[in-house]
């Protein structure tokens, strides 16, 4: 981690410019992804008005009566979609003090047949709030636009590693994970702890985070200290997920981060988009150039959260750990006699 106590800011218009400007951007991207695993992205092309509209709708949703929100509570969905009350999601065994609504790719149910992998049960429809019909088209538009941005970013990461820009395409092109969380962190006067969300890594290719005006996101430095990542208007926070870390044999870093509870009397709104490989994919191991391979550290190992190269297996494991109430209702057959370890991951 560099000595600077702030995250770098990268202008994505430099990548889209091509030529020498693109080459310089790729060098900066490689440094940020290897040294920090987090950076701000400007010049991304997503309209501020679209971001502001979705944030306003998020505020409207969280202001709804409790009955309207719990009508689409996640526990009703075997696909882990819908509303979660503060304290109901867990990271490393402790409750996260945030209320949120989860959406993912709108796809048809997969048939339940003997011999099918357990992760096939994750695919299905979202739950949408009938009390706020404007939210559905706004979320689907956001999902579409951020998927396009995520694919462009993935191409940039591939080129930064001297790979073909479409090297990852075979494991996302048919049905990528396009997961969105709209999240509200209440102030410290109304929570059980300062854990907005506990320390974790993200599990997909990459995360695109939109913040409002209240800070709280922190990124862990190599010495164990925490670097604040306050909101910067017009930017996203981008961070590396464990798929890229594993595919690059640790050359790219999936970095531990957390959100601390806002001060009393304030709250924080953020919208996180997670881009992941399709559920039936297996994470490849890239053939890096000798120079890059010599600098690859290998993916980090966590005995409390063993990682698998099978995307569906990893994703289901994370969901079962993070949402024990959904797991008990819809996946009791998978939990019988199995101790539930500490959770990790933002999904």
Query: Is 236 domain-assigned?
Result: yes
Q: Residue 49: CA atoms inside 13 Å, Cβ hemisphere, count?
A: 0
Query: Is 119 domain-assigned?
Result: no
State the CATH number of the domain containing residue 248: 2.60.120.330
- Give the residue numbers spanning the domain of 54: 9-108+132-335
C-alpha closest to that of 303 among 243, 246, 252, 344: 344
Whose tokens are 């010049």? That residue is 43
- Reading the chain (347 residues) residue by residue, the pLDDT tens digits are 434 578 999 999 999 999 999 999 999 999 999 889 999 999 999 999 999 999 999 999 999 999 999 999 999 999 999 999 988 888 877 888 999 999 999 998 888 787 889 999 999 999 999 999 999 999 999 999 999 999 999 999 999 999 999 999 999 999 999 999 999 999 988 787 889 999 999 999 999 999 999 999 999 998 999 999 999 999 999 999 999 999 999 999 999 999 999 999 999 999 999 999 999 999 999 999 999 999 998 877 665 656 678 999 989 988 998 899 999 999 999 986 444 444 444 42
- Distance between CA atoms of residues 196 and 155, nearest Å: 32
Domain count, the chain: 1
Query: Is 342 domain-assigned?
Result: no
Query: Is 184 domain-assigned?
Result: yes
Residue 146 DSSP symbol:
H
C-alpha closest to that of 197 among 206, 214, 184, 208: 184
Query: Is 123 domain-assigned?
Result: no
Query: Is 346 domain-assigned?
Result: no
- Distance between CA atoms of residues 127 and 81, nearest Å: 6
pTM of the model: 0.93
- Distance between CA atoms of residues 311 and 117, nearest Å: 12
C-alpha closest to that of 192 among 87, 264, 83: 87
C-alpha closest to that of 54 among 208, 189, 194: 208
Asked if residue 2 lies in contact with residue 194, where contact means CB atoms within 8 angstroms, the answer is no
Asked if residue 304 lies in contact with residue 92, where contact means CB atoms within 8 angstroms, the answer is yes
Query: Is 341 domain-assigned?
Result: no
CB atoms within 10 A of CB 170: 12
Query: Is 1 domain-assigned?
Result: no
C-alpha closest to that of 318 among 218, 208, 201: 201
């Amino acid at each position: 981690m560099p000595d600077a106590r702030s995250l770098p800011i990268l202008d994505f218009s430099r990548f889209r410019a091509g030529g020498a400007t693109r080459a310089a951007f790729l060098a900066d991207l490689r440094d940020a992804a290897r040294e920090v695993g987090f950076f701000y992205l400007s010049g991304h092309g997503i309209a501020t008005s679209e971001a502001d509209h979705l944030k306003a709708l998020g505020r409207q949703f969280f202001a709804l009566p409790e009955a309207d929100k719990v009508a689409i509570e996640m526990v009703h969905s075997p696909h882990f979609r819908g509303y979660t009350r503060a304290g109901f999601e867990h990271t490393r065994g402790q409750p996260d003090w945030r209320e949120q609504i989860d959406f993912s790719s709108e796809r048809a149910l997969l048939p339940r047949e003997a011999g099918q992998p357990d992760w096939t049960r994750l695919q299905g429809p979202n739950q949408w709030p009938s009390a706020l019909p404007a939210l559905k088209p706004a979320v689907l538009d956001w999902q579409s636009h951020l998927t396009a941005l995520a694919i462009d970013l993935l191409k940039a990461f591939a080129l930064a590693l001297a790979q073909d820009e479409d090297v990852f395409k075979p494991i996302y092109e048919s049905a990528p994970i396009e997961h969105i969380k709209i999240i509200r962190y209440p102030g410290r006067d109304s929570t059980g702890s300062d854990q907005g969300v506990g320390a974790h890594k993200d599990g997909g290719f990459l995360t695109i985070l939109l913040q409002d005006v209240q800070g709280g996101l922190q990124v862990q430095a190599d010495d164990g200290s925490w670097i604040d990542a306050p909101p910067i208007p017009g930017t996203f926070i981008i961070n590396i997920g464990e798929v890229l870390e594993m595919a690059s044999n640790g050359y790219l870093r999936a970095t531990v981060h957390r959100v601390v509870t806002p001060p009393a009397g304030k709250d924080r709104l953020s919208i996180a988009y997670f881009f992941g490989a399709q559920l039936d994919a297996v994470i490849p191991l890239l053939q890096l150039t000798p120079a890059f391979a010599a600098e690859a550290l290998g993916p980090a190992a966590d005995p409390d959260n063993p990682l698998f190269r099978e995307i569906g297996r990893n994703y289901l494991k994370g969901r079962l750990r993070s949402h024990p109430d959904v797991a008990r209702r819809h996946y009791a057959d998978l939990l019988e006699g199995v101790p539930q370890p500490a959770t990790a991951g933002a999904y």
